[in-house]
Structure 1
Amino acid sequence: MDETEGDLTIGLLGPLTVRRDGSPVEVTAGRLRCLLAILALTPGRTVPYHRLGEAIWEDEAPGHLRRTLQTYAGRLRDLLGADRIGGGPHGLVLHACDEDVDAARFERLARGAGDRAQLAAALALWRGEAFEDVDCHWLAATAAPRLDAMRLETVERRIDLDLAEGRHDELIPEMEHLVAAHPLRETLWTRLLIALDRSGRGAEALDRYEGVRAALGDALGADPGPELRRLHADLLAGRPLSAGPSRPPPAAVPRQLPAAPAVFIGREDALDRLRGSDRPVRVLTGAGGVGKSTTAIHWAHRISGEYPDGQLHAELHGFSPHAAPAAPGEVLGRFLRSLGVPPREIPEDTEARTGLFRTVTADLRLLVVLDNARDAAQVRPLIPGAGSALTLITSRNPLTGLLVEHRAASIALETLNPGESHRLLAARLSAAALDREPEAAQAIIDACAGLPLALAVASARAETGPARPLADLARHLLGSGRLDALDTGEPATGVRAVLSWSYRSVGRDAARLFRLLTLAPESDASVEAAASLAGRPAAETARLLDELATARLASEHEPGRYGAHDLLRAYAVEQAEQTDPPKRRDAALRRLVLHYAHTAHAATLLLVPGRPPIDLPERGPGVTVPDLKTSAEAQTWFDAETTALLALVRECDERGWDDLVWPLAWTVTETLHRRNRWRTWMEIERIALAAAERAGNRHWQATSHRKLGRVHGNLREFDAARARFSRAQEVFAEEGDAQGEASVLKNRGYIDYLQGRHRDAAACNVAALERYERLGDRNGQADSLNNIGWSLAQVGEYDTAERHCRDALGIYRELGNGDGLAVCWDSLGFVHAARGEHSAAEDCYERALDFYESPEGNRYRAADTLVRMAENCTASGDADSARVHYGRALEILDRLGHQDAAEVRAALDALPLRGDGPGECRGRRDASMCAS
Structure 2
Amino acid sequence: MCVDVAGYGDHRRTNRDQVAVREGLYRALRRAFIRSGLRWERCHREDRGDGVLILVPSEVPKELLAGRLPVELASELEAHNGGAGPEARIRLRAAVHAGEVQHDDHGVAGTAINLAFRLLEAGPLKDALRGSPGTLALIASEWFYEEVIRHHPASDPKAYRQVPVAVKETLTRGWVRLPGLPGLPSLSGLVLGRAPGEPEGPRQLPAAVRDFVGRDAELALLDDRLTPGDDVVIALVTGTPGVGKTALAVHAAHRARHRFPGGQLYVDLRGYAAEPALAPEQALEGVLHALGVPAGRIPAPPAARSALYRSLLDGRRVLIVLDNAASAAQVRPLLPGAPGCAVLVTGRGDLSGLTAREGARPLELAPLEPAESRALLRRIVGAERVDAEPGAAADLARHCAHLPLALRVAAERAAARPGLRLAGLVRELDERNRLDVLGADDEHTAPRTVLSWSYHALPPPAARMFRLLALHPGAEVSPGAATALAGAGPGEARRLLDRLVRAHLLEEAAPGGRYRLTGLLRCYAAELAETEEPRRDRSAAVRRVLAWYLHTADDARRLLCPHRVAPRLTVPDGPPPRRFRSAREAREWCESERDNLVAAVRHAPATGHHDIGWRLPLALWTLCLPRGPWTDWVAAHRGALDSARHSGDDAGEAYALGALGFARQDRGRFEEAANHFLSAQLIFKYVRDRRGEAWALHGLGYALRRLHRYDEAILLHRQALRISTEIGDAGGRAWSLGGLGFAYAGRRRHAEALNHFERALCIARGTDRRAEGWALYGLGHAYQTLGRPEQATGHYGRALEIFREIGDWRGRGETLDGLGKAHLRAGRPEAARACWTRALEAFQDLRSPQASRVRDRLLILDDDTVRELPESEAAVPSP
Q: Retained in 2: the 8 A contact 1:257–1:312? A: yes
Q: 1:856 to 1:505 in 2, by over 3 A?
A: farther
Q: 1:331 to 1:902 in 2, by over 3 A?
A: same
Q: 1:759 to 1:384 in 2, by over 3 A?
A: farther
Could you say which residue in structure 1 is the equivalent of 2:19? none
Q: 1:314 aligns with which of 240, 263, 267?
A: 267
Could you say which residue in structure 1 is the equivalent of 2:727? 775
Residues in 2 aligned to 1:407 and 1:892: alpha-carbon distance in whole angstroms: 43
Q: Retained in 2: the 8 A contact 1:746–1:784? A: yes
Q: 2:612 aligns with which of 660, 663, 667?
A: 660
SS at match of 1:547: helix
Question: 1:278 and 2:228 equivalent?
Answer: yes
Alignment of 1:37-186 (within 5 A): none
Could you say which residue in structure 2 is the equivalent of 1:755? 707
Q: Give the length in aligned residue pairs.
A: 732
Q: Which amino acid aligns with 1:814?
A: G
Cα deviation code 1:699-731 (max 9, x no counterpart) = 333333333333343344444433333333333
Cα deviation code 1:393-444 (max 9, x no counterpart) = 3223575666688776654534555655565555556676666666666666
- Residue 342 of structure 1 deviates from its aligned partner by 6.1
Residues in 1 aligned to 2:98 and 2:819: alpha-carbon distance in whole angstroms: 30
Could you say which residue in structure 2 is the equivalent of 1:293? 246
Could you say which residue in structure 1 is the equivalent of 2:782? 831
Q: Which amino acid aligns with 1:515?
A: R
Question: 1:931 and 2:838 equivalent?
Answer: no
Q: Which amino acid aligns with 2:119?
A: V
Residues in 1 aligned to 2:268 and 2:365: alpha-carbon distance in whole angstroms: 19
- Residue 385 of structure 1 deviates from its aligned partner by 7.1
- Residue 295 of structure 1 deviates from its aligned partner by 0.7
- Residue 299 of structure 1 deviates from its aligned partner by 2.0
What runs of 5+ residues in structure 1 fail to find an aligned partner? 1-162, 168-188, 198-202
- Residue 920 of structure 1 deviates from its aligned partner by 2.3
Could you say which residue in structure 2 is the equivalent of 1:124? none
Residues in 2 aligned to 1:839 and 1:904: alpha-carbon distance in whole angstroms: 21
Q: Which amino acid aligns with 1:373?
A: A
- Residue 749 of structure 1 deviates from its aligned partner by 0.8
Question: 1:921 and 2:869 equivalent?
Answer: yes
Could you say which residue in structure 2 is the equivalent of 1:729? 681
- Residue 795 of structure 1 deviates from its aligned partner by 3.2
Question: 1:609 and 2:556 equivalent?
Answer: no
Q: Retained in 1: the 8 A contact 2:580–2:586? A: no
Cα deviation code 1:138-170 (max 9, x no counterpart) = xxxxxxxxxxxxxxxxxxxxxxxxx89x99xxx
Q: Retained in 2: the 8 A contact 1:868–1:923? A: no
Alignment of 1:743-892 (within 5 A): 743-818=695-770, 820-838=771-789, 841-842=792-793, 844-845=795-796, 856-858=807-809, 862-869=812-819, 871-872=821-822, 875=825
Q: Retained in 1: the 8 A contact 2:566–2:655? A: no
Q: 1:611 to 1:808 in 2, by over 3 A?
A: same
Residues in 1 aligned to 2:802 and 2:306: alpha-carbon distance in whole angstroms: 27
Q: 1:268 aligns with which of 216, 229, 233?
A: 216
Q: Which amino acid aligns with 1:211?
A: R
Could you say which residue in structure 1 is the equivalent of 2:644? 692
SS at match of 2:470: helix
- Residue 744 of structure 1 deviates from its aligned partner by 1.9
Cα deviation code 1:246-280 (max 9, x no counterpart) = 64699998654333222333333332333332255
Q: Retained in 1: the 8 A contact 2:367–2:402? A: yes
Alignment of 1:635-674 (within 5 A): 635-671=587-623, 674=626
Question: 1:258 and 2:206 equivalent?
Answer: yes
Could you say which residue in structure 2 is the equivalent of 1:568? 521
Q: 1:809 to 1:566 in 2, by over 3 A?
A: farther
Residues in 2 aligned to 1:368 and 1:489: alpha-carbon distance in whole angstroms: 32
Q: 1:388 to 1:930 in 2, by over 3 A?
A: same
Alignment of 1:203-214 (within 5 A): 209-214=116-121
Q: Retained in 2: the 8 A contact 1:283–1:408? A: yes
Q: Retained in 2: the 8 A contact 1:536–1:622? A: no
Residues in 2 aligned to 1:692 and 1:829: alpha-carbon distance in whole angstroms: 40
Residues in 1 aligned to 2:116 and 2:790: alpha-carbon distance in whole angstroms: 39
Residues in 2 aligned to 1:287 and 1:733: alpha-carbon distance in whole angstroms: 61
Cα deviation code 1:353-378 (max 9, x no counterpart) = 55666677779876543211123443
- Residue 547 of structure 1 deviates from its aligned partner by 3.2
Residues in 2 aligned to 1:294 and 1:675: alpha-carbon distance in whole angstroms: 37
Residues in 1 aligned to 2:555 and 2:397: alpha-carbon distance in whole angstroms: 58
Q: Which amino acid aligns with 2:117?
A: E
SS at match of 1:919: coil
Alignment of 1:489-508 (within 5 A): 490=443, 493-508=445-460
Could you say which residue in structure 2 is the equivalent of 1:215? 122
SS at match of 2:275: coil
Residues in 2 aligned to 1:678 and 1:254: alpha-carbon distance in whole angstroms: 20
Cα deviation code 1:178-217 (max 9, x no counterpart) = xxxxxxxxxxx99x969999xxxxx998776433212138
Give the TM-score normalised by structure 2. Answer: 0.70
Could you say which residue in structure 1 is the equivalent of 2:344? 392
Q: Which amino acid aligns with 2:869?
A: C
SS at match of 1:590: helix
Q: Retained in 2: the 8 A contact 1:534–1:622? A: no
Q: Retained in 2: the 8 A contact 1:352–1:896? A: no
Q: Retained in 1: the 8 A contact 2:125–2:137? A: no
- Residue 469 of structure 1 deviates from its aligned partner by 5.0
Q: Which amino acid aligns with 1:269?
A: A
Cα deviation code 1:539-594 (max 9, x no counterpart) = 44333333333333333423522232232222333333444444433333333233
SS at match of 1:626: coil
Q: 1:685 to 1:215 in 2, by over 3 A?
A: closer
Comparing 380-389 and 205-214, the one that deviates more: 380-389
Residues in 1 aligned to 2:694 and 2:342: alpha-carbon distance in whole angstroms: 56
Q: Retained in 2: the 8 A contact 1:712–1:718? A: yes
SS at match of 1:495: helix
Greater helix share, 1 or 2?
1
Question: 1:550 and 2:497 equivalent?
Answer: no
Residues in 1 aligned to 2:358 and 2:785: alpha-carbon distance in whole angstroms: 53
SS at match of 2:122: helix
Alignment of 1:624-639 (within 5 A): 624-630=577-583, 632-639=584-591
What runs of 5+ residues in structure 2 fail to find an aligned partner? 1-62, 68-92, 101-109, 157-178, 187-197
Comparing 268-277 and 403-412, the one that deviates more: 403-412
Q: Retained in 1: the 8 A contact 2:829–2:861? A: yes
Q: 1:603 to 1:580 in 2, by over 3 A?
A: same
Could you say which residue in structure 1 is the equivalent of 2:173? none
- Residue 743 of structure 1 deviates from its aligned partner by 1.5
SS at match of 1:541: helix
- Residue 314 of structure 1 deviates from its aligned partner by 2.6
Q: Retained in 1: the 8 A contact 2:780–2:793? A: yes
SS at match of 1:378: helix
SS at match of 1:545: helix
Q: 1:645 to 1:480 in 2, by over 3 A?
A: closer
Q: 1:717 to 1:696 in 2, by over 3 A?
A: same
- Residue 645 of structure 1 deviates from its aligned partner by 3.6
Q: Which amino acid aligns with 1:214?
A: E
Q: Which amino acid aligns with 1:567?
A: L
Cα deviation code 1:795-823 (max 9, x no counterpart) = 333343233334333444412534x3443
Could you say which residue in structure 2 is the equivalent of 1:680? 632
Comparing 367-376 and 223-232, the one that deviates more: 223-232
Q: 1:727 to 1:478 in 2, by over 3 A?
A: closer
- Residue 330 of structure 1 deviates from its aligned partner by 3.2
Q: Retained in 2: the 8 A contact 1:346–1:895? A: no
Residues in 2 aligned to 1:864 and 1:561: alpha-carbon distance in whole angstroms: 39
Residues in 2 aligned to 1:502 and 1:395: alpha-carbon distance in whole angstroms: 26
Q: Retained in 2: the 8 A contact 1:527–1:538? A: yes
Residues in 2 aligned to 1:246 and 1:715: alpha-carbon distance in whole angstroms: 22
